[in-house]
Amino acid sequence: MKKIKLNAETRKNIEENLIKRSPSSFGEYQERVDAILAEVKAKGDEAVFSYTKKFDGADINASNIRVTDDEIKEAYNKVEDRFVEVIRKAIKNIREYHEHQLRNSFFIPKPDGTILGQKITPLKNVGVYVPGGKAAYPSSVLMNVVPAKVAGVDNIIMVTPPGKDGKIYEGTLVAAHEAGVTEIYKVGGAQAIAALAYGTETIPKVDKIVGPGNIYVALAKKSVYGLVSIDSVAGPSEVMVLADDTANPEYVAADLLSQAEHDQMASAILVTTSEKLADEVAKWIDKFVPTLSRKEIIEKSLENYGYILIAKDMDEAIDCVNQIASEHLEIITANPFDAMTKVRNAGAIFIGEWSSEPLGDYMAGPDHVLPTSGTAKFFSPLGVDDFIKKSSVIFYSRPALKELHEDIEYFAKAEGLTAHANSIAVRFKDE
């Protein structure tokens, strides 16, 4: 990891380096993605089956693309009982947290006969993309599906790439079944996003697509946005630890590495007011890395996007936190709740040395689908609100409209919209 004194120039350089990881910076893939989208739109299942054979090596057709009940039963037989227990415990925590996000419709009646309100309606059909192969994460299944179930979504259609044998990772299938997925289809990549966005002979069109994926999936989601809604265009994972001299350097090092192992483009950053802590964390990282199974990935991640930043004081450190707007932020300081009140931009905030980031990945309850690449400045974690829509409700009685009709007509004419004015005026033409 690079150890750097924090100042305006170094922070700007770091921000520019991190933003290169955003899917929006990989335009050279867009042409290939667009070609896949166009072919699936034109040829439907034929294109889906062809791309699945090409990219995943699996012989998928209309008779086996949908996961069957027997395949789900087989998956349960393959996983340990403990796995199912842990999945159910995680679902309970995720559900209980997201139930607090539920909104209610409201109506405001007034004495003049006016009723104004807002009607909350769950989305009807949602598509969930789940990565396959080495990147199979049952935890992401739960984090995408459970909030949708809490919101009241009718149909949750999951897509995930099969192995060469045409099968789906058993942990993914068990997680999907436990969370309440309606249908599961064996297709991945940009072709899966296209199938969900346009619909094919076997895969139904959805209203929204959520879930993480590689650069092809991210760019495909970006391209179909507008035809359907999406959660976000997610970039590589990232963690930032804000720490002072009270932090345990062993814990800090372990937490930084927990994100660096995700991807060679993952980012792990320590910002601290303590030079001593910085040195000790660097030593612990050197001790840990050789012992970890994803050593090569971690080393590449730290080489390109790993930083230890030394700030002159906590105000400068927090300013850096807010500018970088990390996906995950851990605060390990003498007064972590005080520091938290000054944080404006972070996807998820973990407070204190016992709130390590993997707690949020698996068990705590808040969603781990979070804004990346600085988008925590204006985006929020995935939640129930992502699976509902709001409709305004307006009712006026004749006496209530009469009080306003001249003002409305005047306003419409001021905008040059005489048909708007007439729509109101005709109701009072006899007066």
Active site residues: 327-328
Residue 173, SS3 per DSSP: helix
Please name which of 7, 4, 21, 6 lies closest in space to residue 326, comparing C-alpha atoms: 21
User: Which run of H or of E encompasses 82?
Assistant: helix 81-99
Q: Cα(174)–Cα(158) distance, rounded to whole angstroms?
A: 13
* DSSP structural state of residue 360: H
At 281, which amino acid appears?
Answer: V
Give CA–CA dist 222/233, Å, rounded. 6
CB 139 within 8 A of CB 169: no
**Pairwise CA distance, residues 170 & 78, whole Å:** 7
| Dist CA 112 CA 104 (whole Å) | 24
Bridging pattern class, strands 238-243 and 328-332: parallel
Residue with tokens 């054979």: 53
- For 307, the 3-state DSSP assignment is strand
CA 254 to chain centre: 24
